[in-house]
Amino acid sequence: MLSSVSLGYSNETKRLYGVLNGYLKDREYLAGPGKGKYSLADIKTVPWIEVHYKVEIENLEDFPHLEAYLERCKAREGTQAGFKVPEVLRLP
């Protein structure tokens, strides 16, 4: 059960996921012209999406474009290397 503060954060996260989902409908990445180009914006956004379960968002089914974006970014070699950083070095 989430506290009222946590519930507020969860609801705001869902709202922002919805905004990103709509934005990514015709794009591959967040910044740049056309379909976008992988950039710092993606590098900073992917970890926030990856931990959706921490705010009781079980999956990204309601956000199909966001889910596809996350999988596309996670398939990149650099992203995979970043996620392999030892747990002891990660923030809680």
Answer for the pair 31, 37: CB distance below 8 angstroms, yes or no: yes
pLDDT top residue among 7 and 79: 79
CA 4 to chain centre: 23
The 10s digit of each residue's pLDDT in 11-62 is: 899 999 999 999 999 999 999 999 999 999 999 999 999 989 888 899 999 9
pLDDT (0 to 100) of residue 25: 97
Spell out the SS3 assignment of the chain: CCCHHHHHHHHHHHHHHHHHHHHHHHCCCCECCCCCECCHHHHHHHHHHHCHHHHCCCCCCCCHHHHHHHHHHHCCHHHHHHHCCCHHHCCC
pLDDT (0 to 100) of residue 1: 61
The CA distances from residue 14 to 48, 58, 76, 92, in Å, are 12, 11, 25, 21
pLDDT (0 to 100) of residue 59: 93
pLDDT (0 to 100) of residue 18: 97
pLDDT top residue among 50 and 6: 50
Is the pTM here over 0.75, yes or no? yes
Domains of the chain: 4-79 (1.20.1050.10)
